Amino acid sequence: MKNIFLKAFSFVKDNPSIIYSLVLVIIIPVAFFINTFLINSKYEADIDKITQRKAVFVESLVNNSIKSQLDDNEKLQFSVTEIVKKNEEIISLSIIKKQKESDGFQVVASSDASLIGQRQDDSIQNSIAWSKPEGVALLGSSGQERFWNVTKNIIDDAGEKKALIAISFSLKDTDALINKTIRDSYWILVLLILIIVLLISNQARIFGYAITVTKLKEVDKMKDMFISMASHELRTPLTAIKGNIEFLKEKKEVSADKESKHYADNISFSADRLQNLVTDMLEVSRLEGNNVPMDMKIFNPNPIIFQCVEELKIQAQEKNLNLSCKLSDDATLIKADESRLKQILINLIGNSIKYTINGSVDITTSIKEREFIITIADTGIGISSENQANLFKKFYRIQNKDTENIIGTGLGLWITLEIAKRMKGNITVESIEGVGSHFNVHFPIAKK
């Protein structure tokens, strides 16, 4: 138990913002309780006033109906009995006359037969009611039942006080209604508290998720920083390795010795692979960190396309592939980063050359629905529909017998698509396995 308390205290200490939730758990239910209590108290007080007025009103009606019968006690008693029978809210009703020979009072008619003829010389309520025209109303109780005791003068038509009428008016039905309302309001309060607790417990869970997400973001940020730092640190020794290897390969002793030349070529090849991987990882880190500067300009893309094709002609010739370029004569303008467009084309055309065993790679341009489209069509190994769905995902590479000897990181197409999207462009692919592929680079036409 102690360990649980210490862990909870430690968690709150490490995450002080959760105190807000804990305060809400206490303050909101207490506020609801106080509000409900005050509303119910005010409601009860208002109901008591209403029932008091009702009791006085009923007594006035009874007063008027028996005023003419004050001189006949038998008729008076009969009327009292009938009135009580017909009104369930009237607990008791008595007619009290003041005695001439003394200051006392005597009951002359009553719903309680045992009170008839009884003297009430020491009744303070009767004395006060006799002296006050508006009468007296006192709240009383018997067991769990409350009632109003109202005592008032009976005045004849000449304005003379003839007797007192004392009525006990039950609050049983009213109290039952009040208690039901109070019970309902407290049940609603309990339900609201449960909802609040559930919401706050859910908030605590979300708070835990938020902490996890924050930590994941920190880890992700540290990962990006590490990749960026590692990539920068690796590029320097890689450059030195490549420089030294190229220097060795130019040595007559190395070029003359087939074994030495073989090892030097292997080292150079591996250094190139490692450098490509480092470059791709650095580019991914920059893209994910939204740290890729774009020099957006409006220009004609044809010269850059032609330049990319010229740079890759030697690579195509080494594989005996026909690399052609047929560009539209329209001086269409797009808005993009020239160097990034070149990066996209070098990657896509280079991929087509890499995955084409024999045949050709053709680059064409077209305009469709206010878009400038660059198409790289090859007669390579093609891509299945399943592989097309995952083609632009990070680290995804097509795995089959045709690609097992082709090196790559699985990052090139993801990087290429991300760069195109950041320039408001897109890349789509159409391919048939064993026939070839068409990669289409889309850019909106810029307004002149």
Instruction: Report pLDDT digits (tens) over 166-201.
Output: 888 787 877 787 778 778 877 887 887 787 777 766
Residue 5 has pLDDT above 80, yes or no: no
Domain boundaries, the chain: 21-170, 180-287, 294-444
Q: Which residue has the higher pLDDT, 416 or 186?
A: 416
The pLDDT-based confidence of 406 (bands split at 50, 70, 90) is low
Most confident residue range from 80-89, 240-249, 363-372: 363-372
Q: Which residue has the higher pLDDT, 423 or 179?
A: 423
In terms of Cβ atoms closer than 10 Å to its own Cβ (0-12, 13-18, 19+), residue 2 is exposed
Contacts of 79 (CB under 8 A, 6+ apart): 65, 66, 69, 109
Residue indicated by tokens 């709240």: 139
Average pLDDT over residues 269-289: 76
Residue 273 has pLDDT above 80, yes or no: no
Tell me how far apart the alpha carbons of residues 363 and 316 are, in angstroms, rounded to a whole number: 13
Token readout for 156 is 């004849």
The pLDDT-based confidence of 374 (bands split at 50, 70, 90) is very high
CATH, domain 294-444, list 3.40.630.10, 3.40.50.300, 3.40.50.1970, 3.30.565.10: 3.30.565.10
Write down the pLDDT at residue 35.
77
Write down the pLDDT at residue 55.
59
Q: Any idea how long the chain is?
A: 448
The pLDDT-based confidence of 52 (bands split at 50, 70, 90) is low
Residue 441 has pLDDT above 90, yes or no: yes
> Which residues on adjacent β-strands are paired with residue 143?
none
Tell me how far apart the alpha carbons of residues 212 and 303 are, in angstroms, rounded to a whole number: 50
Tell me how far apart the alpha carbons of residues 235 and 241 are, in angstroms, rounded to a whole number: 10
Residue 54 has pLDDT above 80, yes or no: no
Token readout for 129 is 């009611």
Write down the pLDDT at residue 321.
92
The correct answer on CATH 1.10.287 for the domain covering 180-287 is yes
Q: How is domain 21-170 classified at the CATH fold level?
A: Beta-Lactamase (3.30.450)
Average pLDDT over residues 139-168: 78
Tell me how far apart the alpha carbons of residues 437 and 434 are, in angstroms, rounded to a whole number: 9
In terms of Cβ atoms closer than 10 Å to its own Cβ (0-12, 13-18, 19+), residue 319 is middle
**44 SS3 class:** helix
Token readout for 99 is 């005695």
Under a CB-based contact definition with an 8 Å cutoff, are residues 391 and 348 in contact?
Answer: no
Tell me how far apart the alpha carbons of residues 138 and 194 are, in angstroms, rounded to a whole number: 41
Average pLDDT over residues 143-163: 77
The pLDDT-based confidence of 420 (bands split at 50, 70, 90) is very high
Average pLDDT over residues 383-405: 76
User: Which range is least confidently modeled, 186-195, 306-315, 373-382?
Assistant: 186-195
Write down the pLDDT at residue 372.
92
